[in-house]
Amino acid sequence: MSDKIVLIDGNSIINRAFYGVPDLTNSEGIHTNAIYGFINIMLKILEEEQAGYLTVAFDMKHPTFRHIKYPEYKGTRKGMPDELREQIPLLKEVLHAMGIRTVEKAGYEADDILGTIATRCSEQGMKVSLVSGDRDLLQLASDTILIRIPKTKRGGTEIENYNTAEVVEKYQVTPAQIIDLKGLMGDASDNIPGVPGIGEKTAAKILSAFETVENAYAHIDEVMPNKARESLREHYDLAVLSKDLATIKVDCELEYTLEEAKMPSLFTPEAFALFKRFEFKSLYNKFEGDVSRNDKLEEKFIEVTSKEEAEKIFQSILALKEARDLKELVTDGISTDRVGLMFACLEGTIVGVAVTYSEDTCYYLSANEVVSVEYILEQVNTIIEENIMLSAVSLKEMLPYIQATSTSKIYDMGLASYVMNPLKDTYHYDDIARDYLEITVPSREELFGKTKEKEVFENQKEVYKNFICYHSYIAYLALEKLSTQLYEANSLELFVDIEMPLIYTLYDMECRGIRVNKEALKEYGDQLEVRIKELEKKIYEHAGEEFNINSPKQLGIILFEKLHMPFAKKTKTGYSTSADVLEKLRSEDPVIDEILEYRQLTKLKSTYADGLATYIAEDNRIHGKFNQTITATGRISSTEPNLQNIPIRMELGRQIRKVFIPEDGYVFLDADYSQIELRVLAHMSDDERLIEAYKQEQDIHKITASQVFHTPLNEVTNAQRSNAKAVNFGIVYGISSFSLGQDLNITKKEADVYIKKYFETYPRVKEFLDNLVEEGKKNGYVTSLFNRRRPIPELSSSNFMQRSFGERVAMNSPIQGTAADIIKIAMIRTNQKLKDLKLKSRLLLQIHDELLIETHKDEIEQVANILKDEMQGAATLHVPLEVEVKQGNNWYEAK
């Protein structure tokens, strides 16, 4: 063991890290940049040093703090930002998890503690490396004490190193004289005043002549230059005070032994758990491959191969009590009668199943000659039929294999985690285990690495078994915890009555898919191609050279440097060439119009014409995915492909909707909520005037214009109406006069007047929005009408921009979230009704406030009524929900 010790000034380094590393937050919204930066600096130093001992010291202020007698200096230090403050206890947690000795003592700053330890160690003949961002520490430098000051530079950390010689070279004074230097020149960053008029150069000169502040004063008449002499004469007390402030204690009484500071193993399972929570992905590989493996858990995963054993297991499961309502169970205490379920599945075929029905064991049944897939499925379906409670991690993916309906007693723990906190990126079994069970299990990535699932299955049977069993076991355990927490958050009904049934609706929609006219899509793409080629040629001619028009970088250079266009707006990396910038340049050069058109057409071609074509399946339909755990507000999202952003605003783009066609013998019915978000706002704010406006069932923007601009309804101009419309939108988004002004091309002041008038017209809306922000700040989250929570960590940010964002989110999320809740209810009911009535018509798409149904020609009127009734009746608000249903032979016609 080396007799070298590394000492770290915790406060100083975390402070450096905070300002040196760009803002990072994990998906819970916890700020992590300072912790991340600290750990990186520390690991870099430890790697270099190969020391035998390590200690991190922290400040701990105390009422009897020795500097309290000079409150005007040390006491007025600006408070640190909340984002940093919050990270300090978390950093300590990380350090302790890594086994690192930390020291803090009431009344001492970290540098006093470090000074003391460094001196003690040095006296024992050890080598000391003292890491701090604070140059005060340089007074401790010696031939055995190395002061290391990290600098965060672009592309990494560089460290300045100081023994005695380096201090002398850089400051022209000995380490011991550093305090005299500070006494004379002061230190603005540390609130040390120094002597006015004496800077670094003069101070060094004086000290080289007189060595100390006291000695200089004793020979005050000899001090040069004149200005410094007079200032020192007058401010000698200040110099002494400053010197005292700068002096680091080396004789603190500490209960500290070297034994405790022995270099720990650092990369422990506990540390790994925290690194995972903070999402320090680049540091995962520092841990030994299986540090995160929960071997004790894996001992509970039992593989079963014989038919007898399999039968016994299923019998035990079928002997469990029938499931009761989850809501009742939560208040009564959750029954242990439940089964965690996970299928092992390769290329659409089941190869096994894992079931857990006690916390002691998870059984893995690998399909084989005796325990066949058919047998397994039959048994699982019986369990479902018998109403035994099941818990899974990602139910939608299991639905192809089981016969479950929205009334089955199966609960999805991934979805439950989403309802608890919709801000996370993933809701895998390891996330659930970490967030709700406080246990660390290896993720898929850690188990499989880059090996394909099939290869793991074939070559690493044990790993594959564990992977499946973790799902089952975690699902089993999590049901109790998550349903309790959902209940406590008041969100259990949302989960049970809306989110869970919706899984089945979305699954139905995905299976059904939407029919596409392949040939028409091809034709559409070809037409675009022709026009794109023409535009390309023209643009090259105007530019005088060929370049990649799709490259913002190249385009920016052509426009703003070669053609000298005005209004160049910069982005981080270069010129902005976005549509709104180009829009302002249209009068400058005809090439701008061509570029705008080119952009539009290439977008249509690549994303839609070509993009959609790759998703057309054998049945000539596109089976996109609807994701239920993506958005922060509760909306669903659509991927592979995104069917929620098919063009409509521009005619040319809109044409693409003609390729979406119904099955032969069917038509499309498309039903749209009219201004659902504004209606939700009217309801939630309970503003009489807004409610009244909606009850009149008239043009809301016009009514708003009439009231905001004090104009009789029939005299409202188009311009007034469109301004009012923009204000209405702004309100829903969490308005600011700046953005409204930008949107309407008016000044911030004028926009302010609009907003003021709007709020005068609808005073309860103002009250409502203010209350949301306040509620968000108080609770850390806001809620929709159906108790969907959205945490808003940004609201407690000290950064103006982030906090403002949080405020807008607080105003928008309950509105957007409630609208999302409502249409989800409508979807479930509509889909259910179509099934119950055994209709041929099927729900295909949801586009946030719109549902598209492929309707059999015999069912048009009936389905139109169902759609309208279920959508309008999904919620009873203080204002009516209006729905418009249209019919067409393609999606273009139906809108």
Partner DNA sequence: GTTCTCACG
Partner DNA sequence: ACGTACGTGAGAACT
Find the binding residues for DNA in span 585-614 (CB under 7 A).
Answer: 596, 599-600, 602-604, 606-607, 610-611, 614
Q: Which of 254, 630, 746, 785 binds DNA (CB under 7 A)?
A: 630
**CA triple 212-217-219, angle to 5 deg:** 100
Closest CB to DNA among 186 and 806?
806
Instruction: Give the pair of three-digit tokens for residue 686.
Output: 């309970």
Minimum distance from residue 295 beta carbon to DNA (Å): 29
x/- letters, 563..582, toward DNA (CB under 7 A): --------xxx-xxxxxx-x
CB 882 within 8 A of CB 674: yes
Minimum distance from residue 530 beta carbon to DNA (Å): 17
Cis peptide before 225 (omega within 30 of 0): yes
Closest CB to DNA among 49 and 83?
83
Residues paired with residue 9 on neighbouring β-strands, in sequence order: 57
Q: Which of 28, 244, 493, 743 binds DNA (CB under 7 A)?
A: 743
Q: Which of 105, 635, 679, 856 binds DNA (CB under 7 A)?
A: 635
SS3 670: strand
Q: Which pairs with CB-CB distance under 8 Å and at least 24 residues apart come from 398-406?
A: 398/341, 398/342, 398/343, 399/503, 399/504, 399/507, 400/348, 401/343, 401/345, 401/350, 401/377, 402/377, 404/504, 405/504, 406/500, 406/501, 406/503, 406/504, 406/505, 406/828, 406/832
x/- letters, 300..329, toward DNA (CB under 7 A): ------------------------------
Please name which of 788, 593, 547, 536 lies closest in space to residue 684, comparing C-alpha atoms.
Answer: 788
Q: Between residue 179 and residue 208, which ones bind DNA under the rule CB under 7 A?
A: none
Closest CB to DNA among 273 and 795?
795
Closest CB to DNA among 108 and 524?
524
Closest CB to DNA among 305 and 642?
642
Residue 172 engages DNA in binding (rule: CB under 7 A): no
Distance, in Å, from the CA atom of 5 to the CA atom of 31, rounded to the nearest integer, reads 30
Distance, in Å, from the CA atom of 195 to the CA atom of 238, rounded to the nearest integer, reads 6
**Of the listed pieces 226-234, 495-503, 545-553, 663-671, which binds DNA according to CB under 7 A?**
545-553
**Of the listed pieces 248-256, 453-461, 692-700, 732-740, which binds DNA according to CB under 7 A?**
732-740
Q: How far is CA 817 from the centre of its chain?
A: 17
Residue that the structure tokens 């809301």 belong to: 700
Minimum distance from residue 548 beta carbon to DNA (Å): 5
**Of the listed pieces 487-495, 627-635, 764-772, 871-879, which binds DNA according to CB under 7 A?**
627-635
Closest CB to DNA among 551 and 717?
551
Cα separation of the two ends of the chain? 76
Q: How far is CA 283 from the centre of its chain?
A: 19
Q: Which of 641, 662, 776, 793 binds DNA (CB under 7 A)?
A: 641
Residue 735 engages DNA in binding (rule: CB under 7 A): yes
Q: How many CB atoms lie within 10 A of CB 2?
A: 12
Please give the torsion angle defined by the CA atoms of residues 99, 101, 105 and 108, in that order, rounded to the nearest 10 degrees. -130
**Of the listed pieces 486-494, 506-514, 640-648, 860-868, which binds DNA according to CB under 7 A?**
640-648
Minimum distance from residue 304 beta carbon to DNA (Å): 38
Residue 747 engages DNA in binding (rule: CB under 7 A): no
Residue 540 engages DNA in binding (rule: CB under 7 A): no
Distance, in Å, from the CA atom of 167 to the CA atom of 149, rounded to the nearest integer, reads 12
Phi/psi for 95 (5° steps) reads -60, -40
Instruction: Tell the burial category of 563 from Cβ atoms under 10 Å away from its Cβ (0-12, 13-18, 19+).
Output: middle
Residue 550 engages DNA in binding (rule: CB under 7 A): yes
SS3 108: coil
Closest CB to DNA among 174 and 576?
576
Q: Between residue 366 and residue 425, which ones bind DNA under the rule CB under 7 A?
A: none
Q: Which of 640, 692, 715, 774 binds DNA (CB under 7 A)?
A: 640
x/- letters, 684..723, toward DNA (CB under 7 A): ----------------------------------------
Closest CB to DNA among 751 and 866?
751
Cis peptide before 269 (omega within 30 of 0): no
Residue 798 engages DNA in binding (rule: CB under 7 A): no
528-537: string of b/e by CB count within 10 Å (b at 16+)?
A: beeebeebbe
Count residues binding DNA (CB under 7 A).
74
Minimum distance from residue 632 beta carbon to DNA (Å): 4
Q: Which of 302, 648, 746, 860 binds DNA (CB under 7 A)?
A: 648
Closest CB to DNA among 335 and 627?
627
CB 721 within 8 A of CB 702: yes
Single-letter amino acid code for the residue at 348: G
Please give the torsion angle defined by the CA atoms of residues 198, 201, 207 and 208, in that order, rounded to the nearest 10 degrees. -160
Phi/psi for 466 (5° steps) reads -60, -40
Q: Between residue 809 and residue 868, which ones bind DNA under the rule CB under 7 A?
A: 809, 812-813, 816, 847-850
Run of H or E residues at 783 = strand 781-783
Minimum distance from residue 419 beta carbon to DNA (Å): 14
Minimum distance from residue 738 beta carbon to DNA (Å): 3
SS3 1: coil
Residue 757 engages DNA in binding (rule: CB under 7 A): no
Residue 621 engages DNA in binding (rule: CB under 7 A): no
Residue 637 engages DNA in binding (rule: CB under 7 A): yes
Residue 639 engages DNA in binding (rule: CB under 7 A): yes
Closest CB to DNA among 450 and 838?
450
Residue 551 engages DNA in binding (rule: CB under 7 A): yes
Q: Do strands 127-131 and 301-304 pair parallel, antiparallel, or not at all (unpaired)?
A: unpaired
Residue 745 engages DNA in binding (rule: CB under 7 A): no
DSSP 53: E
Run of H or E residues at 791 = strand 789-791
Residue 650 engages DNA in binding (rule: CB under 7 A): yes
Instruction: Tell the burial category of 579 from Cβ atoms under 10 Å away from its Cβ (0-12, 13-18, 19+).
Output: exposed
Minimum distance from residue 233 beta carbon to DNA (Å): 40
Q: Between residue 232 and residue 251, which ones bind DNA under the rule CB under 7 A?
A: none
**Of the listed pieces 69-77, 160-168, 624-632, 836-844, which binds DNA according to CB under 7 A?**
624-632
Minimum distance from residue 838 beta carbon to DNA (Å): 30
Residue 27 engages DNA in binding (rule: CB under 7 A): no
Minimum distance from residue 874 beta carbon to DNA (Å): 15
SS3 246: helix
Closest CB to DNA among 183 and 734?
734
Residues in the chain, overall count: 895
Single-letter amino acid code for the residue at 682: A
Distance, in Å, from the CA atom of 193 to the CA atom of 185, rounded to the nearest integer, reads 8
Run of H or E residues at 354 = strand 349-358
Minimum distance from residue 512 beta carbon to DNA (Å): 18
Q: How many CB atoms lie within 10 A of CB 757?
A: 17
Closest CB to DNA among 20 and 730?
730
**Of the listed pieces 402-410, 490-498, 641-649, 697-705, which binds DNA according to CB under 7 A?**
641-649
